[in-house]
Amino acid sequence: MEKQFKSGFIAIIGRPNVGKSTFMNQVIGQKIAIMSDKPQTTRNKIQGVLTLPDAQMIFIDTPGIHKPKHQLGDFMVKTAINTLNEVDAILFMINAEEGYGKGDQYILDRLQKVDKPVYLIVNKIDLVHPDKLLPLIDQYKDKHDFTEIIPISALQGNNVKHLLEVLKDQLAEGPQYYPEDQITDHPERFIISELIREKVLQFTKEEVPHSIAVVIENMEQRNHGKVLIQATIVTERKTQKGILIGKQGTMLKNIGKAARKDIENLLGTSVYLELWVKVKKDWRNKQSQLQEYGFSRDDY
């Protein structure tokens, strides 16, 4: 008798900075979604594919839901909300440290209109005392009819295996959508641009907020297997360009050095990375430039 194979699409939704990307990377076992201590890090839907001998789970890491302040923010929120109607299950992730907030209620109101299993995932339990968990869970229990409530630490991996088993049990029989060695639906260029953007956020702290985009201009194989990658960091103001380059180019060198390390891990080969910085004033509110940098209206 042939073994039953299960599959399904699972959305990860929640306020900014609750640990959605950290969870995705923990599950897949490789960095495909960028991580930052700044909110609204994820901009596009990023699919992470976990293939097991008897199941395939496609996780969709959505942008954090927040009140948009520009067209890019509007794109991000619509992308996250529309994902709810396209999946087989939803993980509503909250931060155990922060507890209930207005942003959660905004999401809960939208979940009322969704006829899918919704799991409440209480993340970052490693940062709170166990005595604080039960009152928090009780508070959320009354706000929605959750299929199950599962506390985890995405960073440390606590209880993540149990969550995956629960999800696999509820999945319906289905096909294997992706080859078993494929871990994301995004092309390498997208992941590489995200890894560079992560390092910009990491090194520039609050000086350069989310007004940057990274465009891969060229990517080619050179002699002895080394890969040449040429990328442009786009920002909105000249002052930000100065910060990104730094004194005698130090900041840009540091960003490039850290990004190159992650890119080499991703590609499994040596990389020569060239970075430039370009100013495009107010690009986050210009539809033509949003499309040029990969934020298309067709996505929502």
Q: pLDDT-based confidence at 103, cuts 50/70/90?
A: confident
Q: pLDDT-based confidence at 49, cuts 50/70/90?
A: confident
User: Where is average pLDDT lowest: 41-55, 129-143, 245-259?
Assistant: 41-55
List binding-site positions. 14-21, 61-65, 123-126
Domain boundaries, the chain: 6-170, 188-293
At 95 the pLDDT is 92
Contact of 54 with 5, CB cutoff 8 Å = yes
At 64 the pLDDT is 54
Mean pLDDT over residues 238-249, rounded? 88
**pLDDT tens digits along 123-177:** 999 999 989 899 999 999 988 999 999 999 999 999 999 999 999 999 999 888 8
**pLDDT tens digits along 8-24:** 989 888 887 888 888 98
CATH topology assigned to domain 6-170: Rossmann fold (3.40.50)
- Has residue 75 got a pLDDT over 50? yes
Contacts of 206 (CB under 8 A, 6+ apart): none
The gap from C-alpha 192 to its chain's centroid, in whole angstroms, comes to 14
- Has residue 204 got a pLDDT over 70? yes
115 versus 56: the higher-pLDDT residue is 56
Mean pLDDT over residues 90-105, rounded? 88
Q: pLDDT-based confidence at 274, cuts 50/70/90?
A: very high
Q: pLDDT-based confidence at 208, cuts 50/70/90?
A: low
- Has residue 122 got a pLDDT over 80? yes
DSSP symbol at 225: G
List binding-site positions for GTP. 14-21, 61-65, 123-126
The number of C-alpha atoms within 13 Å of 262 and in the hemisphere containing its C-beta is: 21
CA distance 41 to 254: 20
CA distance 23 to 43: 16
Q: Is CATH 3.40.50.2000 the classification given to domain 188-293?
A: no
- Has residue 249 got a pLDDT over 60? yes
At 66 the pLDDT is 45
- Has residue 72 got a pLDDT over 80? no
Q: pLDDT-based confidence at 113, cuts 50/70/90?
A: confident
Contacts of 199 (CB under 8 A, 6+ apart): 255, 258, 259, 262
At 85 the pLDDT is 74
Mean pLDDT over residues 94-103, rounded? 86
Q: pLDDT-based confidence at 300, cuts 50/70/90?
A: very low
- Has residue 121 got a pLDDT over 90? yes
168, two tokens? 């696999």
CA distance 185 to 178: 8
Report field, pTM of the whole predicted structure over 0.85? no
205 versus 235: the higher-pLDDT residue is 235
Q: Please, what is the average pLDDT of the chain? A: 80
